[in-house]
Amino acid sequence: MNIILPFLFGFLAAAIGVFPPGLINMTATKVSLTDGKKQAMMFVLGALIVIFFQTYISVIFAEYIDKHDEVVVLFREIGLAVFIILTFYFLVFAKKPNIKDQENLKVKSKRSRFFMGMVLSAINFFPIPYYVLISITLASFNVFSFEVLPICSFVFGVVTGSFLIFYWYVVFFNKLKSKTDFFVNNMNRIIGSITGLVSIITLINVIQYYWK
């Protein structure tokens, strides 16, 4: 039970955290529409590797981070700067995808999409405080302990839940063939709007911390 419950809670936490439209799942959708499903899965694989390490590190240092609020705020400040930059990039500088060039896009290296997934996942700092909070909350209810097996079970639950949600995004949008033109042409605006919203939420959290 001490292995099954952490896996289930990790799976549920990932499903809740990843299901809302975000930078990684929306980018996976964009890659799927422009480069194909295989390239999108390479992107997802790269993202999952980083998520694995992010989750593991989060749980390992959960107790320390929970006792030092300034560490959590530091992550928020770094994330704020990153997402502001991404917002400007997608809304101002990023080029609009050209559906006529899809055949050329499909010949891009799988390795490039793999590392793209790793990079975008690495600059997303929100999973760290998120899984710190989840793991500490579970421990407070005595359904999780900071031991090797429960930690590994929780981490694999997070990775499994993240994969299924990413896969759902890739497959779901692949089936909407009649609406792909609009979706692809407006993808940069969608992603830019998401990162902008996240930036505002993060800014509010940082201000609230210093306002105390």
pLDDT in tens, 161-207: 999 999 988 887 666 555 555 666 676 777 778 778 878 877 887 78
Q: According to the model, what pLDDT value does residue 99 have?
A: 45
DSSP conformation letters of the chain: -TTHHHHHHHHHHHHHHHSS--HHHHHHHHHHHHH-HHHHHHHHHHHHHHHHHHHHHHHHTHHHHHH-HHHHHHHHHHHHHHHHHHHHIIIIISPPP-GGGHHHHTTS-HHHHHHHHHHHHHT--THHHHHHHHHHHHHHTTS--SSHHHHHHHHHHHHHHHHHHHHHHHHHHHT-GGGHHHHHHTHHHHHHHHHHHHHHHHHHHHHHHHH-
Q: What is the pLDDT of residues 77-132, one digit of tens each?
A: 776 787 788 788 778 876 655 544 444 444 355 568 899 999 989 888 778 878 88
- Would the pLDDT of 66 be above 60? no
pTM beyond cutoff 0.85: no
Q: What is the Cα–Cα distance from 70 to 32, expressed in whole angstroms?
A: 39
Q: Which of 207, 178, 201 is nearest to 22 (CA)?
A: 201
Residue type, 119: V
Q: What is the mean pLDDT of residues 52-68?
A: 82
Q: According to the model, what pLDDT value does residue 1 have?
A: 54
Burial class (CB in 10 A: 0-12, 13-18, 19+), 91: middle
Q: What is the pLDDT of residues 132-167, one digit of tens each?
A: 878 877 877 788 888 889 999 999 999 999 999 999
